[in-house]
Amino acid sequence: QVQLVESGGGLVQAGGSLRLSCAASGRIFSNYAMGWFRQAPGKEREFVAAISRGGRTTYTYYADAVKGRFTASRDNAKSTLYLQMNSLKPEDTALYYCAADPAAITTTAGYWGQGTQVTVSS
């Protein structure tokens, strides 16, 4: 079992920044690929970013909507995943979820957090 707890959400004006954190516990963090998804009211959950398992080289992947504005990173020593969000837009408003999986991050990832709300005002 892997437990995931997100934090760092809040209310920010358009153009502002937030950093989300996802603290993991229960298993060896570096053995899991990690990712972020979001879900806005009335919409389906969508992929935001993913980062490969810890190792000599990590790879990151981003949705086109956030590429160049969001940066995912991981600190294996702290068992924590981050999402730095810059140049936020009102359309980034959503509940942001952290996900973990020993293989790959998809909508069927094995473990999910409860989410943290991000609201961007115009």
The single-letter code of the amino acid at 51 is I
User: What is the tens place of the pLDDT at every residue in 76-105?
Assistant: 999 999 999 999 999 999 999 999 998 888
Compute the average pLDDT of residues 7-29: 95
Distance CA 2, CA 11 (A): 28
Phi, psi for 33 (deg, rounded to 5): -70, 145
Q: In the prediction, which pLDDT does 94 show?
A: 98
Q: How many whole angstroms separate alpha carbon 57 and alpha carbon 69?
A: 22
Question: What is the per-residue pLDDT for 104?
Answer: 82
CA distances from 70 to 6, 20, 21, 31 (A): 16, 11, 13, 23
pLDDT of residue 42: 94
